Amino acid sequence: MFIDIHTHLSQYTDDEIPLIVKRWRESGVELVVSSGTTIEDSIKSIELANKYPDIVAGIGLHPSDLTDNWKNDLLELKNMLDENISMISEIGLDYQDFSPNKKVQIRVFEEQIQIAIDNDLPIVFHTRFSMEDSYNVLENFKDHMHGGAVHYFDGNYEEAKKMINLGFKISFAKTLLRNNYLKEVAKKLSIDDIVIETDSYPQYFKKNRERWTEPKDVVLVAKELASIKNLSVELVGERTKENFKSFIKT
């Protein structure tokens, strides 16, 4: 019933993956996207998608993981493209103090958007302290893109509507459970414009392994969304699934 549109499954150890998969299947999660952040990460996402029928792969270069080798990495990314790739993700802009040069980030973001366009693929992208620049970059491609989503959305209603008008869905994660301003955004948006995710990755900073976020927890996001919008959780699961399927290539 539920789809987790953004995770970092490829960063878990090989021995953990089968148990994580088992837990999400038991929770009613039917499909999970494993998104790449580097070349190596993207390769592992493809391997996971080939091994498990309920995993699909995204490949991409995360803005925070860019190196001086980014031009060669873009070439490698292009060489990886085949029928096993469902989206270009995770890409975008990240303007933290320690992030790579902004001009380089924008160039790589633009290049990956073009890769997606050339291969009829959607994008799922990251915007940290960079919503305006992200929008301006995307607007330049607005007549050619194949949809996708703003991952881990943390902006306001006006920013959400601008992204929706470019053809993107708004993806909410577990921050929806605790941030009142996000609840207000979700309340104002149509359910037809929303998808859900966990952005799960190994959370070694949490001493209790059972408290790590996993794809199974996308159900918690669906339940919160159902409460906010006064809908059944079953309907939220079905509608967000259809919203995802409106842009995904499987």
Q: What is the mean pLDDT of the chain?
A: 96
pLDDT of amino acid 250: 61
Mean pLDDT within 43-50: 96
**Number of folded domains that form the chain:** 1
Does the pLDDT of residue 216 top 70, yes or no?
yes
In the chain, % of residues over pLDDT 70: 100
What integer is the mean pLDDT of 197-203?
96
Structure tokens given for 160: 């959400």
Does 193 fall in a domain? yes
- Measured CA to CA in angstroms, residue 28 lies from 2, 23, 88, 210, 246 at distances of 6, 9, 26, 19, 20
User: Residue 65's pLDDT is what?
Assistant: 95
d(CA 85, CA 77): 11
Residue 146: pLDDT above 90?
A: yes
Mean pLDDT calculated for residue range 135-144: 97
Among 123, 126, 115, 125, smallest CA distance to 77 is for 115
Count of CB atoms situated within 10 Å of the CB of 5? 31
Strands, E, within 168-239: which ranges?
168-172, 194-196
Q: What does the block give as tokens for 117?
A: 């366009």
Of the chain, the end-to-end C-alpha distance in Å amounts to 17
In Å, what is the CA distance from 140 to each residue of 3, 147, 149, 248?
30, 14, 17, 22
Average pLDDT over residues 184-204: 97
Q: Show the domain range for 80.
A: 2-245
pLDDT at position 141 is 98
Answer yes or no: is 66 within a domain.
Answer: yes
- Which pLDDT belongs to residue 83? 85
Does any domain span residue 61? Answer: yes
Q: How many CA atoms lie within 13 A of 151 on its CB side?
A: 29
Which amino acid is present at 115? I
Residue 196: predicted pLDDT? 98
Q: Where are the alpha helices (DSSP H) in 81-217?
A: 102-118, 131-139, 157-165, 180-188
pLDDT single digits (tens) 163-189? 999 999 999 999 999 999 999 999 999
Query: Which residues, at least 6 apart from 88, have a Cβ–Cβ distance to it below 8 Å?
Result: 58, 59, 60, 112, 113, 115, 116, 119, 121, 122, 123, 124
Residue 250 lies in a domain: no
* Domain annotation covers residue 149: yes
pLDDT score recorded for residue 46: 96
The secondary structure of residue 100, as a DSSP letter, is: P
- Residue 58 lies inside a defined structural domain of this protein: yes
CB 152 within 8 A of CB 197: yes
**Could you tell me the CATH number of the domain that includes residue 121?**
3.20.20.140
Q: Is residue 155 part of a domain?
A: yes
pLDDT digits over 124-135, tens only?
Answer: 999 999 999 999
How large is the average pLDDT for residues 11-15?
96
Q: For 65-124, write each residue's pLDDT tens digit.
A: 999 999 999 999 999 998 889 999 999 999 999 999 999 999 999 999 999 999 999 999
Q: Can you list the positions of beta strands (E) in the chain?
A: 2-7, 29-35, 55-59, 85-94, 123-128, 148-150, 168-172, 194-196
Establish whether the linkage from the previous residue to 90 is cis, with ω within 30° of 0. yes
Q: Which residue has the tokens 């301006």?
A: 136
Residue 56 is predicted with a pLDDT of 96
CB-based burial label for 97 (10 Å; 0-12, 13-18, 19+): exposed
Q: How far is CA 244 from CA 11, 13, 99, 148, 249, in A?
A: 23, 27, 30, 8, 10
**1-6: average pLDDT:** 96
The SS3 call for residue 239 is helix
Whether 249 has a pLDDT exceeding 80, the answer reads no
